[in-house]
Every structure is written in structure tokens, then in C-alpha cells.
Amino acid sequence: MTREEIQLITLEILGEIAPDADLDNLDPAHSFRDQFDFDSVDYLNFVLTLEKRLEIRIPEIECPQLASLDGCIAYLAARLKHG
């Protein structure tokens, strides 16, 4: 899966979880929580939806790596490359 595909899936899921978020102006380097209303329940739903959509298991200890768009892309690209 390419980084672009990962970005599209990530943004699609964010749009489902936080429909009021301005994803067009999202700063990929900053935490989702710092940019729009994204509480801990939203974050958990986001991670669970990523797991389901990508058919992977994300260990709880690694979840903080998914706090930003850049973090999601880097983590998931490496994860999906290596299985």
C-alpha cells in the first residue's frame, strides 16, 4: 500500500469519526487533538477503525504514533510493508 493510499484511508476514517473537522486544512505534522475536537473516545474509535479497515492489530503501546497524519502515514507504511 502506498503512502498516498494510507493518507486517503486515514483522512476518510477521520472524516467518519470527526465529521466537523476541517481536513482540507489539516497540518499533517500536528496532533489531531490540537487541530479539532477529537477526544479520547474518538481516538480509540479511529484506531479501531484503522485496525478493521487495514486488517492489522495495533498494539496499545504504539497508538501514540498515530496522533498526527504524518505519524499515521509513517507508522502504517512501515507496518504494512513488513506485515
Rounded mean pLDDT, 11-27: 94
Average pLDDT value for residue range 43-68: 96
Domain boundaries, the chain: 3-19+27-82
**pTM score above 0.75:** yes
Q: Which fold has domain 3-19+27-82?
A: 1.10.1200
> Average pLDDT for residues 50-56, to the nearest whole number?
96
**Average pLDDT value for the chain:** 94
**Up-side HSE of residue 6: CA atoms within 13 Å toward CB?**
20
Residue linked to cell 479520547:
40
Q: Which residues contact 17 (CB under 8 A, 6 or more apart)?
A: 38, 42, 45, 46, 49
Supply 23's cell numbers.
481536513
Q: Cell 502515514 sits at which residue?
A: 73
